């Protein structure tokens, strides 16, 4: 049973078993890392072939009810909101037989409202709920180097963090339940919007007689050095930069480089007959996005395209 230390955070005398439900492309490599957990691992999946490798390595298998009764933390990686609801609160779900102090951690990307709703439902039963979606894909899962964004109370975060660190290279406490999902949605917005921009860049490169694959190699190489879009996310706010702020000079410099390069790319696209709507939008919006307002090249472009 958990006890409370002098700062009010639950802790345990010795590691207890942890559980994992959902052993698919992401769940299986994450659960594999938990085989290192000294308290033991209990797994659950509807497919016998998914469970078998874990039994061979010393894990136990159980139903959701059995995991809820015996484990301190149960991680869940299933397909969608409906499956998460079924696993957590369904007639044969975790809450049916949940032990005192259990913390349920959902790694599926679900609606933030679902996370908040389930957290409230769990709290009524004396169970902790954590939404902890992950980023890094199958390669990150295989390497044990995922990023996880955790929505949890302080107490529940302290309970799950040691297990998460076995499969994650970065564990961020985003805030209360629901916050982890909101951060994942913001992260994925950037991810998929960038795919549309990538297609635009690829069309320009191809029209210029260049290899799209070679361009991709350059992008991956340089993003690994510069940090890509994350390189401008050092401020604590997205509000405009105050005059005289340190970032005014930094982002003013970035704006100047960006507006110059976007102007040149739009010129190339015009000569090749390639429409670049995202480039045009970025040229006129880059300065505001950086918080320093448009520069002269963006202003000139807007004036010429009214």
Residue burial 48-77, b: 16+ Cβ < 10 Å; e: rest: eebbeebeeeebbbbbbbebbbbbbbbbbb
Mean pLDDT value across the chain: 93
At 13 the pLDDT is 59
Q: In the structure encoding, which two tokens stand for residue 68, read together?
A: 């809820």
pTM of this structure: 0.86
What are phi and psi for residue 105, nearest 5 degrees? -120, 115
Structural domains in the chain plus CATH codes: 3-177 (3.40.50.720), 184-304 (1.10.1040.10)
Catalytic residue among 57, 161, 184, 260: 184
Whether the pLDDT of residue 94 is over 70: the answer is yes
Q: Look-up: residue for tokens 């490599």?
A: 29
Question: What's the start-to-end Cα distance of the chain, in Å?
Answer: 69
Residue 61 to residue 51: CA distance in whole angstroms? 7
Partners of 21 in the β-ladder? 44, 76
Q: What average pLDDT does this structure show over 277-300?
A: 95
- Cβ-in-10-Å burial (0-12, 13-18, 19+) of 5 comes to exposed
Is 57 among the catalytic positions?
no
Kindly report the backbone phi and psi dihedral angles of residue 174, in degrees, each rounded to the nearest multiple of 5, phi listed first: -80, -25
What share of the chain has pLDDT > 70, as a percent? Answer: 96
Confidence of residue 4 (pLDDT cuts 50, 70, 90): very low
Strand partners, 134: 148
């Amino acid at each position: 049973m958990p006890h409370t230390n002098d700062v009010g955070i639950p802790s345990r005398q010795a590691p207890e078993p942890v559980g994992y439900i959902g052993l698919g492309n992401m769940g299986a490599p994450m659960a594999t890392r938990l085989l290192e957990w000294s308290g033991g691992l209990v797994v659950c999946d509807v497919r016998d072939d998914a469970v078998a490798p874990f039994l061979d390595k010393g894990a136990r298998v159980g139903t959701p009810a059995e995991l809820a009764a015996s484990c301190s933390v149960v991680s869940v990686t299933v397909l969608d909101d409906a499956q998460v609801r079924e696993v957590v609160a369904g007639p044969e779900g975790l809450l049916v037989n949940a032990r005192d102090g259990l913390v349920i951690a959902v790694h599926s990307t679900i609606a933030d409202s679902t996370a908040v709703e389930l957290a409230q439902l769990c709290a009524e039963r004396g169970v902790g709920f954590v939404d902890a979606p992950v980023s890094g894909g199958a390669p990150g899962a295989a390497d044990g180097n995922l990023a996880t964004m955790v929505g949890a109370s302080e107490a529940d975060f302290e309970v799950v963090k040691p297990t998460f660190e076995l499969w994650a290279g970065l564990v961020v406490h985003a805030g209360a339940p629901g916050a982890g999902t909101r951060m994942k949605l913001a992260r994925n917005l950037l991810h998929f919007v960038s795919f549309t921009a990538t297609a635009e860049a690829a069309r320009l490169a191809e029209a210029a007689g260049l290899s799209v694959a070679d361009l991709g190699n350059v992008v991956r190489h340089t993003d690994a050095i510069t940090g890509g879009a994350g390189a401008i996310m050092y401020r604590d706010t997205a509000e405009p930069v105050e005059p005289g702020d340190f970032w005014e000079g930094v982002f003013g410099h970035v704006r100047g480089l960006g507006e110059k390069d976007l102007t040149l790319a739009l010129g190339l696209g015009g000569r090749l007959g390639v429409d670049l709507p995202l480039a045009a939008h970025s040229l006129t919006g880059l300065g505001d996005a950086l918080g320093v307002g448009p520069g002269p090249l963006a202003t000139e472009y807007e004036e010429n395209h009214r």
